[in-house]
Amino acid sequence: MLPRLAMRVLRSTDPKALWKFSWLFGFKGMLSVQRFKRRAQQGVYFPPFLYLSILNSCNLRCQGCWVDVESPRESIELERLHRLINEAKSHGNSFFGLLGGEPFMHPQLLDLVEQQSDAYFQIFTNGQLITDKVADRLRRAGNATPLISIEGREVVSDQRRGKKDVFARTLRGLDTAIRHRLLTGVATSVCQSNIRDLLNESWIDELIDRGVHYVWFHSYRPVGPMMNEDLGLSREQLVETRQFITEMRAKKPIGIVDAYYDHDGQALCPMATGISHHVNPKGGVEPCPIIQFANESIDDDRGIYRTLTESSFLKDFRETTARETRGCVMLERPDLVEGLVKKHAAGDGTIRQTAMQELQAMKPRHSQWLPGDEIPEKHWMYRWAKRFFYTDFGAYNRLEKVKPLSDTVGQDEKPLSTLHS
């Protein structure tokens, strides 16, 4: 698998893009994780991976989206983005995720990428605005990878994303990025309507044949103003998803990303470990993208480093979550999230100002923490990389002896290890 993947990437990626990925994300990214680990041992948490929602606007209307796509545009201007990124770089960071809305609707996105030549960007996009001109600028910059979301084939894509011909238009953007030799990925939020179409080997083969370099499968999270609980995965399907990812990693010449498990298959939350936090389109600093509450801003006079490392709100969120669950606290314990928000009098980070009502309407459901069904990585490369650079970093050493959600639900939700015995 590994030699074939390496040859695919070498043959199909622009040399400058490959070099910048290897240096800025690979080598410097590893150094930033090591700095994070040393700081964390001193009780100082500055995440090596910052995710920035640079605007709320979007050209699609996806089911279950928690972003204020219908509201007047809010965006982080270029000057503020430069200030944030430059300070983060001064503390060892080199990687930044750019989200929306649709990031390519930000008029200064490409300027940001070009001017921040010593930073690496992953752009979360629906791909429909990737034209030849856009792709050429990204290729010449070399320091960005488009991660293009595909939520189903023709019929499901139109249903999930609220427009017509979404699948075809997304594939055109995907093909444009690949044709310009960009390091290109595909992301899928696995849910009830697409799990059979996209969580299978033939879809992986199709992406490989198309020239895609990596895929990112994550489970659908029913949150926000238009949460659709019916699309959420069952416990069995969550285990199925994890099993599929580990098997395909050991078999297929394509990178496969996940953000919720260590090398032994133990669940983790990037927010709870402190490795990642989120900035919303108004500049508010949030625990993660789906927890839309903030007490601090990137415009704080202290600067982004002190703002994050001195935040009692973020500290309490990390520590309380890690004591209660290895999974997603928003899905498993919305009551706990509500309590933390009220304790710190955190502000609603949305434009619609209904985040608390939405939170109170949520019902507990399974996330990535599935005790009894841990599935270790099968391929040595993923085991090695995660062991050293993507673990829980000791965050769960004080995990309470709480009763996991899986032990409090019905008979049909028992661990699969007991169902199959």
Could you tell me the CA-to-CA distances from 261 to 83, 215, 318, 328, 418 in Å, in that order? 32, 16, 17, 12, 21
Specify the pLDDT at position 151: 85
Determine contact, residues 145/185, Cβ cutoff 8 Å.
yes
Distance of CA 335 to the CA centre of its chain: 23
User: Is pLDDT above 60 for 349?
Assistant: yes
Locus of tokens 């169902």: 419
Specify the pLDDT at position 420: 34
Q: Which domains does the chain have, with CATH numbers?
A: 2-389 (3.20.20.70)
Specify the pLDDT at position 418: 38
User: Is pLDDT above 50 for 92?
Assistant: yes
pLDDT digits 0-9 by tens, 272-297: 999 999 999 999 999 999 999 999 99
Mean pLDDT, residues 3-23: 93
Specify the pLDDT at position 70: 74
Closest CA to 229 of 328, 369, 361, 321: 361
Specify the pLDDT at position 6: 87
Mean pLDDT, residues 135-160: 86
Mean model confidence pLDDT for the chain? 90
pLDDT digits 0-9 by tens, 194-246: 999 999 999 999 999 999 999 999 999 999 888 889 899 999 999 999 999 99
Radius of gyration of the chain (CA): 20
Specify the pLDDT at position 370: 93
Closest CA to 279 of 82, 55, 10: 55
Q: Among 13-27, 333-347, 382-396, whose mean pLDDT is lowest?
A: 382-396
> Is residue 127 very low, low, confident or very high in pLDDT (cuts 50, 70, 90)?
very high
What is the rounded CA–CA span in Å between residue 172 and residue 342?
Answer: 46
Write down the pTM of the prediction: 0.92
Residues of the chain above pLDDT 90, percent: 76
Q: Among 219-228, 260-269, 408-417, whose mean pLDDT is lowest?
A: 408-417
Specify the pLDDT at position 61: 74
Specify the pLDDT at position 153: 75
Specify the pLDDT at position 414: 44
Specify the pLDDT at position 419: 32
Locus of tokens 């993660």: 288
What is the rounded CA–CA span in Å between residue 310 and residue 47?
Answer: 13
